Structure 1
C-alpha cells in the first residue's frame, strides 16, 4: 500500500521549538529541554477559554492554527495517550472520594482537542479522532487519505501527545514528547493549491532499521522532530516512522506532471 499527498501547509510545537522559524534550526545533536511545564501561548483564543485547556489541547490547537486551513475543512485529530493526565486525576479523585470536576470530566475524552477546535474556530465540518498505539500518526494519515479519496477537498491532520504520568512510565518509551504536528493535506499533484512538499507513505516489511546495523538493507529510523525539520526546510527525507516508510520530496512543477 502506498499513500501520496501534497502538503499545503504545516504547523508544529514543542518546548524547544515553539514556532515555524525555530524548527529551521533543529539539530539532532541538541539535547531536548527538560522543562515539561511550558505551554503554548495560544494567543488567538480568549484567555477565559484557553486557561481551562490542557497543555495537549493547547499544543494541538496551536499546530492546527499555524496550518491556516480553509474555513469548515474536515479534520483528523490523532493522539496515542490523549487526555491521560486528566483521566488519572479523575481516578485519583474517585479513590479519595472527592467530587469530580465537571470541567475535568468533560475534557477527559479522547476527542477533547477535536471538539474544542471546532468550537474555537467555528468549524462545523466532520472531525475524526484516532488512537492507534505506536502507529497513531500513520493511521491518522491513512484516515486522511481515505477522506481525500472520497472528497478531494483538503483535510487538516493534527497529531499530538504529552508525556504519560510517571505511573505509566514502565509501559512506554517516548523521548520526543511533548510535541504536536499539523499537516494540511491535499491529493497528490492537485492543480488547485500550491504544495510545499509531497509526502509518500509506503507499507513495507522492513526487517531492520539504522539502529540495527548488522543488515545491508537497513532503513534510517526517523524521529518526529526530524520530519518536522525537513518540512520546515523544504528538504527531501526518507526513512521509517510509526512502522511505515515515509518519503518527503519536493512537488513536481505543473509543466512536469
Structure 2
C-alpha cells in the first residue's frame, strides 16, 4: 500500500512530503535537512562513542535520515548496521523527485538511489561500512521481524506526530524499544511532549530535553544506562 503524497519545499530549500490524508508533513517545514541533521545525526548518532553500531529507525520515509547517516560513515570510521521499519514505502518516481542530492556529486546521487532501490526485508551492503535492512511492517503491532539477538546503540524515533498516528506512541512501544536498546544506547525523537517524555522514563530511559532545530523549541534524547 502506498500513501498519496505531494513534494513541497521547506525553509532550508530541501524537500519534504505532505500527506493529505493525515494533513501532515514528513519533515519540518522550517527545514527538512537541518531538522534531520540536528535531531538524528548530531544529537543521536554523533553522541554515540561507538565505532561499530546497530541503528534502528522507526520510519524510513524519504530515506533522508539513512542518507545522512551513510554520509557519516563516509566521513568517519563508524561502521553501521542500519535497520529501518516502514509501512508505506515510497515509489521510486517520488524518490527521484526529491532534491536531497540535487547538488551532490555522482557518487552521492548513486548512494541515495541505492538506499531506495535495495531489496526490502533483507540485509543489503550499500558500502563496506553501511549495511541497510528495510522492513515493511506495521510497527504499532509490535510483530516486526527484528532479529531477537540484536540490541541497538542508536534509535531514530521518527514516526508521524502523536496526534496523527497515536498508535505509534504507546507505553508498549517504548517498553519494547527499551528492551532492544543496548547499554549506553541512545534514542532521539523530535517530539518533546510531556506524555512522551514520561513514557520513555517509565520504560527505563534517562531522558533529556534539548534545544530543537529552527521552528522547534525542544527535542528529546533518551539513554539506557
TM class by smaller structure: 0.3 to 0.5
Q: TM-score, normalised by structure 1?
A: 0.30
Larger radius of gyration: 1
Q: TM-score, normalised by structure 2?
A: 0.33
Higher RCO (CA < 8 A, seq sep 6+): 1
